[in-house]
Every structure is written in structure tokens, then in C-alpha cells.
């Protein structure tokens, strides 16, 4: 009992130190939101939960992954209860809908933190939710590494990541109190765990000339005092020398490439879409950027990235999902809401030049497969653009792809069903606009009765009858006021102004719109290949139509772009049918659906999936198979573990210990006693007593083989130069198998079957 109390004390001290260290690191984010208490207080509660559950699990000798699983479940239930109690059974048990809502809150909080200048105002209540989720991850990692895996020095890595974020994002550095507290708490964590390790060696040696007390143990304080002294001195020294250390402006550059004077000639860096587009067009140096070979009849409008978010006064790409599973290698997911049945793909062979350092890879809009030969490139499943993970991104990248050409008609777009509510909500978001923007948009499109008609009227107003002129020397200024001047008085600009203005005006009318940055059209080389240069960079808007997905429009005047897309200029030859009440799309209103569900809603609203009995049967079969696999997995793992332990390990000591561990695992699986704190001989006596009691007679003949196994284990642990012959190993394996059978015979058949299906030894350390 005293040993267990001692164990519990150390586990509690280690968990508390680890969580204090993690929470202190999370305090470095307080400058990112206007009201940091909204995430710091919940993060402190989460730290207490992680420490409590972790201590309990480790005192019960659960394996690290079992403890981690309990901590994750506890935090998820708590987090769900805190954020969405109405979406839980009894306020606590999560439901799929409630979980989806919490995920949406975290995603919206991520968008707010990434879009708005720190500190994010308090009215953006999802921003602290995102920081809480990040704090949960940091706390779990620190507890796992320090207390679960017993690698305290490595626990500093998650904390280092946490404190590096505000250093590189915020203008101010890391607050001194947070820096000092985090450093000291890291030292305390190291001291606690090292003291725990040292106590296994017995009595502490006292001062010279004094006799050590037999009951004295090395305490946390004995190691903690010098650790705190050293860490305090190191922290003070770091604070003293920091002002004199030359540092860069941060880990993250602004991605603008050449400076405002057009420097950096001979190279194009494309990282910040519209800023880089403006710079490279104005330079007008026709740098070769991309070479293409294809038999496709249309080699225009290759896109780089989608700008789907209009915040404050600029179009930007929202955060992308570039997971490892999304490597740009092989088939790509079909765009949501697009029917590609029967479309014939064409092959493309492309290569970026040494002058083109781009974060995004140029591709046709409906790319179906891709293979990239250089760099780590990932696709985003929602937008389809392909981004580089490497920093800086590679140049001279060869890649191959297949793509299909878009096929739309004015009649089909005019008769399209309304866009899914989630798409409308997400893709019509706007800040407060000057009133004149919406007034002009409504006046220009007054004659349109469908979404398609209104979009065509907007496009034609910019291209033909609105009095606009294409020029790379637009009027000075920026922001929403400049947008208002562009559509009222200035009316001079290049593709960025036209694309951005049309997309904003479409959103003001409730029409889902976004901006795309890419290449317009190439020049043909002598050998039949195509070349895109820096002068071919372009921007255009896209409008969403149910059944067709995102459709390109071209508001930039024909002096730059040539003719408009056919689906926007053949209305007279292909008149739209009179929309039925169910398909009318005039002036759609903005519903209240959550924007973060745009892609799933789009897929559900525009494609038909299997329905009826066949689908239900398939779902039942798939669910049953998954359940059987889940139930059978522990038993399969245990069988593999047994075979591995009974094989002869090249290390004789490891081989003997594996055999002893297998016999222990059998006892644990059967819920039979196995005193871990006793010697092998005493454990053997317990096993003999169990078998005797189970059979009702004395241990059967051959029981001495257990004594031989015990002797083998003792020799492996204490004999120098221990060797294990093949004969001894075979005899020991036979003993383990025999005694495993004897132990199994002492329990009821139901208990034995349960041990095979749900072996407890997999979660007992």
C-alpha cells in the first residue's frame, strides 16, 4: 500500500508539472484575441482533466495508449458539453450533429484567427474556441511525451511550437512573465521525473561524514532545488542577452517576392496571389514561366488558386486542407456539384521554368489525375488547387495530368436549380460595403430573371456597355472606397479590378461568387508546345450553378481577353426555358446555414447517390463487417503478440523475459492474480496455488518445469554472460504453453472465451 501511495504521489506530481508547463506555453497566445480569458480558463480546466485522468490511468498500470485514449474521450465529451450542450444527450453524450457543430465552430475560429489582425475582437466568439482546441492538443502531447512515454526532455518540443506561434505572428515578442514561467516549469517537470527515476535506486547518500538513513529516499526537493537554481540562472541570462542577439523578422516571410520597385528581375515569385499578379503584370518583362504539351483544343485559363474569402477589402484564399493523404499523386476527387459522366480526358505534359517559384501548381480547372516529379505537392479537396509544402517551393517542376474540358450551355445554366444553402451562405459573405456598390449591381441586373442572366448582365456591363477601359496603370488608392470609385468614376483597371469587382457585386446580389488567379492564354512555340509567360497571368470570377459547379465568367474587356465564354454570349441562339417555380433563382436570399459545411452540402444538393433497399443492405453489411473487424482486432493482436514472444529472440536475455511476459499476459487475460512486485519464485508459488485450487488436487506431475522456467528467468536477470541454448528455449516454450493451459483450465469457459476476444494484457503495462 505504501508503494502504491508513493507511485500515486509521483504520478500526480509529474502530471501537475506537465500540465502547468503546457498551460503556461498556451498563455503565450493571449495577444491573439482581445479577451484571452475566454480560452485560458477553459484550457486550465482541460489541463486539470488531463492530469487527473492520466494520473488515475498510470496508477492503475494502464499502457500509455490506453491512458491517452481515456484522456481523449474525456476531453472530447467535456469540450462538446462546453460548446454545444443542446446537441448532446443529457447535455453530455455527444451526437453526430453536435460533433459536426463543434467542428464547425473550431473551423470558423481558425478562419477568424487567420483572417483578422490580432487581437481578434471579442465579437468573433469562435476564435477562442479554436485556441482551446489547439491548447487541448498541446496539453495531450506534453502529457503523453513526458508522463506516458517518460521522455521529459522531448516534451519541450510541443511547448516550443506553442510559443513560436505568437513570436512569428504578433508584432510584440513573447511576454517576459510567460517566458520565465514556462522555463521554470519545464525545469520542475524534469526534476520531478528524474527524482522518480532516482528513487528506484534506494537510500540517498547523505553528507560526508554522516550515515545515511535506511528509510531515507531521494525526494523531488533533493533534485528540484539545484534544477530550479540552474534554470533560474539560465532564464535570467537569456533575458539579459536577448536584446543583443540579431534576429530575423520572423520564420514566415510575406511572400511578395520582388520589392515594390520591381526588383528581382529574372525571377517570378508567386505566393501572395493578387499582390504578385499586379507586380508581375506591371513589370511586363515576359519571363517564361510554364511550358505545356497537350492535344487539348483549349489551353487557356489554367488556374493557380482560388480566392474564396473577401474580408475587409481584399480577396484571399481561405486555409487549405493539405493533409498527407492529399498528396498530388494519382486520381483527384471530382469537383463538388459537377457531373463528369462521359467526359473524355486529354493528357497534358507540363514543366515550370527556373524563373517560376510558385506556391501553387498551374492546372486546368477540371483536372482528374496528376503526377508530380519534384517536390511535395498536396491538393485541397474543397477547391482543387495544388499547393507546395516545401519552403521555398521547387522550380523546374515536371508534371503530367489528365483533364476534361468544361461543357456548359447558357440554357442549362439559366435553368439550374438554386445553389445549396450552405454554398450561398459561405460564398456571399461580405463586409459592410459602400451603398453605391449594391445599388449599381441591382440597377445593372434589373432585367435579369435568373442567376445566370444577372451574371451575364454584370459581365457585359464591365466588358461592353459600362464605359470601362483595360489598363495596367489604374487610379491610385485601395480598399472598398477605391472599389466604389472604380465602378462609378475611374473605370480604368486590369484583370484584378474587373474580377474582384464583379465577384463582389455578384455576392451583393446573393449570388455565390469567388475569384480565381491563373494564366489566361499561352503563345505557341515552333515545336508545337505552348509557353505561358509572366504577361499571361490573369484573374477572373467564377459563379456557382447547381449541377455544373463553379463556372468561369470574363468581365475583363476583350482588348485583353478576346471573346467571352460561349455560355455567356449565346442566349439569343439558345434561349433559356421558362423556369418552373421549383427552379426559379431570382434574387436568392442568404440562409442561415453554417458556411463551413459548403462542400458537403454542395455535394448532397447536386448529385444523386444510391437509394432504396440495395443501399440499406449494403450499409448494414458494411457496418456489420466493420463491427466484426473491430471486435476481432484485440484477439488478433494478442495472437500475434504471443507468437512473437514465443519465437527465439537473438538476445538471450530478451528471449527469457519474453517467455515470462507471455505467461504473465495469460494470467492477466484470465483475471488471475500475478503479483508484479514479487520475485519470480513467489509468483510461481501463487500460480501453483491457483492451479491447485482450480483442479481441487495437488499440482499435476511435471510441475517442476515451472521451477526450471523460474530458474531460467533468474539466470537471465542476474548471471553475467547468460546464454540460452536451443534446447533450453524449446523446454521453456513448452513450459509456458503447458502452464497457460493449466491456468486457462482454472476459469469458467465463458471467462476463457472472453480472454481470447478482449485480452486485458493489451492495455496493462
CATH number at residue 569: 3.10.620
Could you tell me the end-to-end alpha-carbon distance of the chain, in angstroms, rounded to an integer?
19
In a domain, 335, yes or no: no
Same domain assignment for residues 662 and 556: no
Question: How far is residue 737's CA from residue 12's CA, in Å, rounded to a whole number?
Answer: 39
Same domain assignment for residues 547 and 638: no
In a domain, 168, yes or no: yes
Residue 665 burial (C-beta neighbours within 10 Å; 0-12, 13-18, 19+): buried
In a domain, 317, yes or no: no
Same domain assignment for residues 25 and 114: yes
DSSP result, 151-192:
-GGGGHHHHHHHHHHHHHHSSS---HHHHHHHHHHHHHHHHH
In a domain, 395, yes or no: no
Residue 410 burial (C-beta neighbours within 10 Å; 0-12, 13-18, 19+): buried
Residue from 651, 691, 660 nearest 673 by CA? 691
Per-residue b/e over 366-401, b at no fewer than 16 CB within 10 Å?
bbbebebeebebbbbbbbbbbbbeeeebbbebebeb
* Beta pairing, strands 367-372 & 346-352: unpaired
Same domain assignment for residues 6 and 148: yes
Same domain assignment for residues 595 and 655: no
Residue from 730, 510, 757, 722 nearest 636 by CA? 757
- Which residue, of 553, 576, 606, is where some domain finishes? 606
Same domain assignment for residues 133 and 225: yes
State residue 216's pLDDT score: 42
Tens of pLDDT, residues 474-510: 666 567 888 888 999 889 888 888 999 999 999 999 9
Same domain assignment for residues 601 and 695: no
**Widest pairwise Cα distance in the chain:** 108
pTM, 2 dp: 0.45
Adjacent-strand bridge partners of 315: 310
Alpha-carbon dihedral angle through residues 569, 385, 425, 316, given to the nearest 10 degrees = -100
In a domain, 462, yes or no: yes
In a domain, 356, yes or no: no
Query: Hey, what's the cell of 48?
Result: 486539470
In a domain, 69, yes or no: yes
Identify whether the C-beta of residue 18 lies closer than 8 Å to the C-beta of residue 51. yes
Same domain assignment for residues 648 and 502: no
State the total domains in the chain.
3
Residue from 241, 256, 250 nearest 172 by CA? 250
State residue 384's pLDDT score: 84
Helix (H, G, I), strand (E, B) or coil at 363: strand
State residue 235's pLDDT score: 54
State residue 362's pLDDT score: 93
Tens of pLDDT, residues 272-303: 566 556 666 656 667 889 999 998 888 999 99
Same domain assignment for residues 638 and 702: yes
State residue 428's pLDDT score: 93
Residue 438 burial (C-beta neighbours within 10 Å; 0-12, 13-18, 19+): middle
Same domain assignment for residues 554 and 637: no
Cis peptide bond N-terminal to 668, omega within 30? no
State residue 229's pLDDT score: 61
- Domain with 735, as residue range(s), is 626-762
Question: How far is residue 467's CA from residue 446's CA, in Å, rounded to a whole number?
Answer: 18
Query: Hey, what's the cell of 545?
Result: 450553378
In a domain, 280, yes or no: no
Same domain assignment for residues 504 and 571: yes
Within the chain, which residues score under 50 in pLDDT? 1, 200-221, 223, 241-271, 570-613, 701-702
State residue 125's pLDDT score: 77
Question: How far is residue 20's CA from residue 398's CA, in Å, rounded to a whole number?
Answer: 49
Question: How far is residue 131's CA from residue 579's CA, in Å, rounded to a whole number?
Answer: 47
Residue from 538, 543, 569 nearest 470 by CA? 538
Question: How far is residue 86's CA from residue 84's CA, in Å, rounded to a whole number?
Answer: 5
Same domain assignment for residues 80 and 151: yes
State residue 98's pLDDT score: 80
Residues with Cβ within 8 Å of 315's Cβ and at least 6 positions away in sequence, in order, are 273, 274, 307, 309, 500, 503, 514, 515
State residue 51's pLDDT score: 92
State residue 618's pLDDT score: 61
Question: How far is residue 104's CA from residue 425's CA, in Å, rounded to a whole number?
Answer: 14
Listed in sequence order, the DSSP H helices in 60-125 are: 64-83, 96-115
Rounded alpha-carbon distances, angstroms, from residue 204 to 14, 213, 693: 21, 8, 43
Identify whether the C-beta of residue 281 lies closer than 8 Å to the C-beta of residue 537. yes
Amino acid at each position: 500500500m505504501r508503494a502504491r501511495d508513493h507511485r500515486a504521489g509521483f504520478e500526480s506530481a509529474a502530471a501537475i508539472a506537465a500540465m502547468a508547463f503546457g498551460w503556461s506555453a498556451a498563455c503565450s497566445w493571449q495577444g491573439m484575441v482581445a479577451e484571452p480569458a475566454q480560452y485560458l480558463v477553459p484550457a486550465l480546466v482541460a489541463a486539470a482533466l488531463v492530469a487527473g485522468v492520466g494520473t488515475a490511468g498510470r496508477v492503475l498500470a494502464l499502457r500509455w495508449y490506453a491512458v491517452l485514449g481515456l484522456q481523449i474521450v474525456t476531453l472530447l465529451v467535456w469540450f462538446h458539453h462546453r460548446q454545444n450542450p443542446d446537441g448532446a444527450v443529457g447535455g453530455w453524450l455527444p451526437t453526430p450533429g453536435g460533433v459536426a457543430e463543434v467542428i464547425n465552430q473550431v473551423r470558423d475560429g481558425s478562419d477568424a484567427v487567420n483572417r483578422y489582425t490580432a487581437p481578434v475582437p471579442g465579437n468573433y466568439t469562435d476564435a477562442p474556441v479554436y485556441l482551446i482546441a489547439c491548447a487541448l492538443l498541446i496539453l495531450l502531447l506534453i502529457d503523453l511525451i513526458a508522463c506516458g512515454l517518460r521522455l521529459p526532455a522531448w516534451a519541450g518540443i510541443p511547448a516550443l511550437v506553442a510559443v513560436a506561434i505568437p513570436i512569428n505572428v504578433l508584432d510584440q515578442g513573447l511576454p517576459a512573465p510567460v517566458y520565465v514561467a514556462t522555463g521554470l516549469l519545464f525545469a520542475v517537470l524534469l526534476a520531478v521525473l528524474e527524482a522518480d527515476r532516482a528513487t528506484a535506486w534506494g537510500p540517498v547518500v547523505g553528507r560526508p561524514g554522516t550515515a545515511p538513513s535506511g528509510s531515507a529516499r531521494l525526494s523531488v526537493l533533493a533534485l528540484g532545488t539545484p534544477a530550479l537554481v540552474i534554470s533560474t540562472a539560465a532564464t535570467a541570462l537569456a533575458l539579459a542577452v536577448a536584446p543583443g542577439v540579431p534576429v530575423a523578422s520572423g520564420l514566415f516571410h510575406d511572400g511578395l517576392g520582388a520589392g515594390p520597385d520591381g526588383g528581382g528581375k529574372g525571377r517570378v515569385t508567386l505566393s501572395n496571389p493578387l499582390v504578385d499578379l499586379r507586380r508581375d503584370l506591371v513589370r511586363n518583362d515576359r519571363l517564361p514561366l510554364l511550358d505545356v504539351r497537350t492535344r487539348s483544343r483549349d489551353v487557356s485559363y489554367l488556374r493557380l488558386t482560388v480566392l474564396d474569402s473577401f474580408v475587409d477589402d481584399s480577396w484571399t484564399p481561405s486555409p487549405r486542407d493539405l493533409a498527407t493523404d492529399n498528396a498530388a499523386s494519382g486520381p483527384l476527387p471530382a469537383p463538388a456539384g459537377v457531373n463528369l459522366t462521359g467526359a473524355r480526358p486529354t493528357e497534358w505534359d507540363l514543366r515550370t521554368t527556373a524563373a517560376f517559384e510558385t506556391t501553387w501548381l498551374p492546372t486546368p480547372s477540371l483536372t482528374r489525375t496528376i503526377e508530380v516529379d519534384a517536390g511535395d505537392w498536396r491538393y485541397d479537396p474543397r477547391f482543387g488547387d495544388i499547393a507546395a509544402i516545401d519552403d521555398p517551393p521547387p522550380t523546374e517542376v515536371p508534371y503530367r495530368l489528365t483533364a476534361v474540358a468544361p461543357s456548359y450551355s447558357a440554357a442549362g445554366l439559366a435553368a439550374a436549380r438554386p445553389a445549396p444553402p450552405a454554398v450561398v451562405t459561405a460564398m456571399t459573405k461580405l463586409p459592410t460595403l459602400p451603398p453605391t456598390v449594391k445599388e449599381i449591381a441591382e440597377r445593372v441586373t434589373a432585367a435579369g430573371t435568373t442567376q445566370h442572366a444577372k451574371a451575364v448582365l454584370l459581365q457585359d456591363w464591365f466588358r461592353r456597355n459600362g464605359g470601362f477601359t483595360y489598363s495596367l496603370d489604374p487610379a491610385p488608392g485601395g480598399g472598398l472606397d477605391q472599389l466604389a470609385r472604380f465602378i462609378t468614376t475611374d473605370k480604368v483597371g486590369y484583370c484584378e479590378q474587373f474580377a474582384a469587382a464583379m465577384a463582389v457585386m455578384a455576392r451583393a446580389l446573393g449570388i455565390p461568387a469567388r475569384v480565381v488567379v491563373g494564366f489566361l492564354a499561352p503563345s505557341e512555340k515552333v515545336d508545337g508546345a505552348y509557353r505561358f509567360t509572366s504577361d499571361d497571368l490573369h484573374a477572373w470570377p467564377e459563379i456557382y450553378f447547381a449541377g455544373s459547379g463553379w463556372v468561369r465568367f470574363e468581365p475583363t474587356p476583350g482588348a485583353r481577353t478576346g471573346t467571352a465564354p460561349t455560355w455567356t454570349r449565346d442566349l439569343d441562339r439558345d434561349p433559356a426555358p421558362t423556369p418552373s417555380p421549383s427552379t426559379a433563382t431570382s434574387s436568392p436570399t442568404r440562409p442561415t446555414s453554417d458556411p463551413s459545411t459548403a462542400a458537403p452540402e454542395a455535394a448532397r444538393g447536386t448529385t444523386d447517390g444510391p437509394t432504396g433497399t440495395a443501399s440499406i443492405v449494403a450499409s448494414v453489411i458494411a457496418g456489420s463487417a466493420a463491427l466484426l473487424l473491430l471486435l476481432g482486432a484485440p484477439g488478433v493482436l494478442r495472437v500475434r503478440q504471443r507468437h512473437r514472444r514465443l519465437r527465439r529472440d537473438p538476445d538471450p536475455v530478451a528471449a527469457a523475459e519474453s517467455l515470462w511476459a507471455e505467461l504473465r499476459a495469460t494470467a492477466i487475460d484470465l483475471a488471475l492474480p500475478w503479483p508484479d512486485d514479487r520475485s519470480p519464485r513467489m509468483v510461481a508459488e501463487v500460480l501453483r496455488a491457483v492451479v491447485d485450487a482450480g483442479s481441487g488436487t495437488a499440482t499435476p506431475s511435471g510441475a517442476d518445469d515451472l521451477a526450471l522456467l523460474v530458474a531460467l528467468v533468474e539466470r537471465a536477470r542476474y548471471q553475467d554472460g547468460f546464454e540460452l541454448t536451443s534446447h533450453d528455449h524449446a523446454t521453456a516454450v513448452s513450459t509456458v504453453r503447458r502452464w497457460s493451459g493449466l491456468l486457462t483450465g482454472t476459469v469458467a469457459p465463458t471467462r476463457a472465451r472472453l480472454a481470447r476476444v478482449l485480452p486485458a494484457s493489451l492495455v496493462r503495462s
